Amino acid sequence: MAATPSSPAVLVIDDHMIIRQVVEQNLKNMGFADIDTAGSAAEALERMAVRNYDIIFVDWIMPGKSGYALMQECREERKFDDVAFVMVTSESDERHMIEALKAGATSYIIKPVLSNVFSEKVKKVLDWLAKRGQKSDVQSA
Amino acid sequence: MLNMSGMKTDISGVVQSTVVETFNGMLGQNVVSADERGGAAAGDDGRIYACLLLDQARGASANFCFTFDGKLLARTAARFYPPEQAREKTVQEDIACAIANIVGSKVKSCLNKYGHDFEMTVPFVAEPAALPFKGCDTIHLHFSWNDNAGAGARGLVVDFGMDQRPTGNC
């Protein structure tokens, strides 16, 4: 993917600044250009209130509202139907992964964030977005 | 009765592989697992301590203290932040806790695969005088890093202890 004016809008939510930096750097290496970050669910909600995102990377466990709870709330709203949620978490149990996917995660990335794994997962998310876009086009036609 | 010896062996392996993978694969450093003699010991200045506790309802607990060399954290921070910001202690503490969080979570997953039900506390920064787990029957895992000056320097020591008392404190 090359950086273009139509680069997907991305929000990265993690309470650790270094993880936000790592994810942001990986995204920039892939050509993403429109990246916002938030250090908590509350800050993320403020950002989501003023603009729309195509992909939201969210940590599962954070002080205050968890990323999991935030994703569940968002999934209850129609406006997030075509938004990809990527859970980026240290929780590597299979049951956590299944739980996240059932709750609406589009993808699941286990920390530490490794560039090759990250880019593979994000490419699949872009495919998912493309398919959703086609579906939306069909529905609106 | 839990097989504490077997659990300690498992934990050591997970800590060693996860620390190396996190520093090298995610943070772009060159860290290796070392024996106790490996690498020059860092001075007290600039050390950052991050701690966490794994606790099990049935009474077993594992406590961890990560002692980071400040120079390793500074170099790691410099890869992601402007120089002035990379020198800030809060930035380096954030890296320390993020690493402790990843390692602790991997250990928790490893233990819970065997049917345990450990929960993990959020990692926290501690001052040397207030380290919460001093005096435990601890295992010390050492890591050195290449500081690009030709010498392997002591970069990190992970101390952990386990017991079966309800509180987890020694």
Question: What is the pLDDT, as a whole number, of residue B146?
Answer: 82
Of the candidate ranges A6-20, B21-35, B41-55, B59-73, the one whose mean pLDDT is the lowest = B41-55
Flag if B22 and A22 touch (Cβ within 8 Å).
Answer: no
Mean pLDDT of A1-16: 81
Question: What is the pLDDT, as a whole number, of residue A52?
Answer: 96
Find out whether B152 and B40 touch, Cβ atoms under 8 Å: yes
DSSP notation for B75-99: HHHHTTS-HHHHT-HHHHHHHHHHH
**Superfamily, domain A10-132:** Response regulator (3.40.50.2300)
Question: What is the pLDDT, as a whole number, of residue A139?
Answer: 45
Question: What is this structure's pTM?
Answer: 0.90
Count CB atoms within 10 A of the CB of residue A46: 11
The verdict on whether omega for the bond into residue A112 sits within 30 degrees of 0, i.e. cis, is: yes
Flag if A16 and B122 touch (Cβ within 8 Å).
Answer: no
- Domain boundaries, given as residue ranges, for chain B: 4-30+45-160
Nearest CB among A21, A89, A113 relative to B80 is that of: A21
Does A22 reach chain B within 8 Å, measured CB to CB?
yes
Question: What is the pLDDT, as a whole number, of residue B154?
Answer: 81
Flag if A16 and B101 touch (Cβ within 8 Å).
Answer: yes
* B 72-101 → A contacts, CB under 8 A: 77, 80-81, 91, 94-95, 97-98, 101
Mean pLDDT of B103-120: 89
pLDDT band per the 50, 70, 90 thresholds, residue B77: very high
B4-30+45-160 under CATH 3.40.1550.10, yes or no? yes
Instruction: Please provide the average confidence, as pLDDT, over all residues in chain A.
Output: 91
How far apart, in whole angstroms, are the C-alpha atoms of residue A112 and residue A16? 13
pLDDT band per the 50, 70, 90 thresholds, residue A78: very high
Question: What is the pLDDT, as a whole number, of residue B133?
Answer: 60
Flag if A22 and B26 touch (Cβ within 8 Å).
Answer: yes
B45 has pLDDT over 70: no
Does B71 reach chain A within 8 Å, measured CB to CB?
no
pLDDT band per the 50, 70, 90 thresholds, residue B69: very high
Question: What is the pLDDT, as a whole number, of residue B138?
Answer: 83
Question: What is the pLDDT, as a whole number, of residue A141?
Answer: 41
ipTM: 0.90
**Residue % of chain A over a pLDDT of 70:** 91
Exposed/middle/buried for A115, CB within 10 Å: 0-12, 13-18, 19+?
A: middle
A11 has pLDDT over 60: yes
A137 has pLDDT over 60: no
